[in-house]
């Protein structure tokens, strides 16, 4: 790998932003710089809706940098490029050598040119024609196809250098994390909630996570599994504040004081009340769950109505209309699936009613809860909540 290989990243939706585009760009640049620290020493600069990621010194690992950039939300396309002097001979020579592998295997190609530096003596169509001819000479296997080429050779004439690149790859899409505020994700050890967090982060939401544990019904290993999931999510979500709530006493009081058929829904309402408290403390403006309509008894319209009724902030459910197979697909893509399917218990499965009420009525639930004042226990659980921060780039502990 030659020292002058760089990465070009193009933004997606940010390009459509109007007056506040700069705010989004600044967050994206900050996120990129932070992510790339792990890969080595790279400079990150932008010009004309393109971000330039260049090694500051020799010996930097471009492959690793590319892996980091692929996970940064807000970027639509990424490509590796090489820089050369701004003269046609240097450009033609570089295109022939740098893209030889791609061009040798293809039948059709085209050249596109972008001339940001208008002082460059050749205009874009002329660059395309001349470079096309030079490549046809060099690679007799090729013919030009301007409509549907197998390889597109792109030349960009910028301020200091010319850049050559071939095909680009898809970026992570979405908006930069932090550009859409902060939300608190209810993170279980299951498949769904990490995917829900990923989805929200992809829309620019900075994620904090809350997890409820019920020792001795749930084990230390079950908690570690969730922490490992949280750590995994940092690759996409950035640093995550993780709140671990002791939930045993509340669950025992539900069991002691409420009708069995309502256990789950009442438990979920109490989870929500605690989450709203922590969200307020952590300056999160919404809750996020991995619920999907119809998946289990508590995820019916009526069930969701009952849980929403105790929330004074919005509850976002990015998976609401997804099938399990679609959720599983994403969890494999983001590499949480293997951790999620480890067989540890969750507090939701402690005291599960044999016949949960599938279509609960809010008045009945409120009546069933009225036998016991949960407020002091909620305050106690919030006070005893432990917080730690998971940071990008650290090892997954499991
Ligand atoms: P998942 O696969 O994410 O566990 P699930 O299909 O098992 O979801 P439920 O167990 O009913 O569904 O939980 C629904 C949602 O409630 C989860 O997606 C998650 O947001 C939240 N949740 C469940 N258990 C916990 C927990 N112990 N701590 C924090 N949030 C939880
Ligand atoms: Mg679960």
Q: Ligand 2 mean position to 374 CA, how many Å?
A: 23
pTM score: 0.91
Shared-domain flag, residues 161 and 216: no
Is there a domain that residue 337 lies in? Answer: yes
Q: Ligand 2 mean position to 364 CA, how many Å?
A: 25
Here the CATH number for the domain that contains residue 363 is: 3.40.50.620
Give CA–CA dist 97/82, Å, rounded.
Answer: 11
Closest ligand 1 atom to 191 CA? 2
Determine the pLDDT at residue 1: 37
Q: Ligand 2 mean position to 247 CA, how many Å?
A: 15
Determine the pLDDT at residue 397: 61
Shared-domain flag, residues 136 and 199: no
Is there a domain that residue 322 lies in? Answer: yes
The first and second tokens of residue 211, run together, are 């997890």
Is there a domain that residue 222 lies in? Answer: yes
Shared-domain flag, residues 165 and 186: no
Domain-ending residue, one of 170, 205, 229: 170
- From the CA of 291, the nearest ligand is 1
The response to whether residue 31 sits with its C-beta less than 6 Å from ligand 1 reads no
Q: How would residue 398 be classed by pLDDT, with cut points 50, 70 and 90?
A: low
The response to whether residue 212 sits with its C-beta less than 6 Å from ligand 1 reads yes
Shared-domain flag, residues 35 and 154: yes
Q: Please state the rounded mean pLDDT for residues 35-50.
A: 90
Q: Please state the rounded mean pLDDT for residues 107-115.
A: 96
Cβ atoms of 144 and 136 closer than 8 Å: yes
Determine the pLDDT at residue 47: 84
Q: Please state the rounded mean pLDDT for residues 96-121.
A: 95
Domain-ending residue, one of 141, 170, 199: 170
The response to whether residue 290 sits with its C-beta less than 6 Å from ligand 1 reads yes
Q: Please state the rounded mean pLDDT for residues 172-201.
A: 97
Shared-domain flag, residues 198 and 342: yes
Tens of pLDDT, residue by residue over 221-259, are: 999 999 999 999 999 999 999 999 999 999 999 999 999
> What are the start-end ranges of the H helices in the chain?
21-36, 62-70, 88-98, 100-105, 124-138, 192-202, 220-237, 248-257, 263-281, 301-308, 324-333, 337-340, 362-369, 375-383
Shared-domain flag, residues 370 and 255: yes
- Specify the DSSP class assigned to residue 16: G
- From the CA of 197, the nearest ligand is 1
Share of the chain above pLDDT 70, in %: 98
- Specify the DSSP class assigned to residue 260: G
With a cut of 60, say whether residue 3 has pLDDT above it.
no
- Domains identified in the chain, total number: 2
Cβ atoms of 130 and 122 closer than 8 Å: yes
What domain range includes position 157? 6-170
Shared-domain flag, residues 140 and 239: no
Tens of pLDDT, residue by residue over 55-84, are: 998 888 999 999 999 999 999 999 999 999
Shared-domain flag, residues 43 and 87: yes
Tens of pLDDT, residue by residue over 287-300, are: 999 999 988 877 89
In 10 A of CB 100, how many CB atoms?
12
């Amino acid at each position: 790998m030659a020292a002058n290989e760089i990465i070009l990243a193009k933004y997606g939706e940010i390009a459509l932003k109007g007056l506040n585009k700069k705010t989004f760009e600044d967050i994206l640049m900050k996120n990129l710089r932070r992510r790339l620290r792990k890969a080595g020493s790279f400079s990150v600069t932008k010009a004309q809706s393109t971000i330039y990621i260049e090694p500051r010194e020799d010996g930097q690992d471009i492959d690793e940098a590319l892996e980091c950039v692929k996970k940064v939300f807000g970027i639509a396309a990424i490509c590796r490029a090489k820089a050369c002097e701004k003269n046609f001979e240097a450009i033609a020579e570089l295109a022939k050598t740098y893209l030889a592998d791609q061009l040798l295997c293809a039948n059709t190609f085209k050249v596109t040119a972008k001339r940001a530096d208008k002082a460059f003596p050749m205009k874009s169509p002329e660059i395309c024609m001349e470079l096309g001819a030079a490549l046809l000479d060099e690679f007799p296997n090729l013919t030009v196809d301007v409509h549907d080429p197998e390889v597109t050779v792109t030349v960009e004439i910028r301020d200091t250098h010319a850049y050559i690149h071939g095909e680009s790859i898809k970026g992570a899409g979405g908006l930069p994390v932090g550009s859409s505020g902060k939300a608190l994700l209810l993170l279980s050890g299951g498949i769904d909630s990490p995917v829900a967090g990923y989805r929200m982060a992809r829309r620019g939401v900075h994620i904090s996570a809350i997890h409820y544990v019920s020792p001795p019904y749930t084990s230390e290993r079950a908690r570690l599994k969730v922490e490992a999931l949280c750590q995994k999510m940092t690759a996409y979500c950035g640093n995550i504040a993780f709140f671990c709530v002791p939930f045993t006493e509340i669950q025992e009081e539900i069991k002691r004081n409420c009708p069995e058929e309502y256990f789950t829904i009442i438990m979920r309402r109490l989870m929500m009340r605690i989450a709203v408290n922590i969200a307020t403390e952590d300056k999160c403006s919404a809750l996020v769950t991995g619920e999907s309509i119809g998946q289990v008894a508590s995820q019916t319209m009526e069930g969701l109505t009952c849980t929403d009724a105790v929330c004074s902030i919005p509850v976002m459910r990015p998976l609401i209309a997804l099938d399990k197979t679609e959720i599983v697909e994403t969890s494999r893509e983001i590499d949480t699936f293997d951790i999620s399917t480890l067989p540890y218990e969750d507090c939701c499965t402690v005291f599960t009613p044999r016949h949960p009420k599938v279509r609960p009525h809010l008045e009945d639930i409120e009546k069933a809860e009225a036998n016991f004042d949960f407020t002091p226990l909620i305050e106690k659980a919030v006070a005893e909540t432990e917080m730690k921060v998971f940071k990008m780039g650290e090892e997954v502990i499991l």
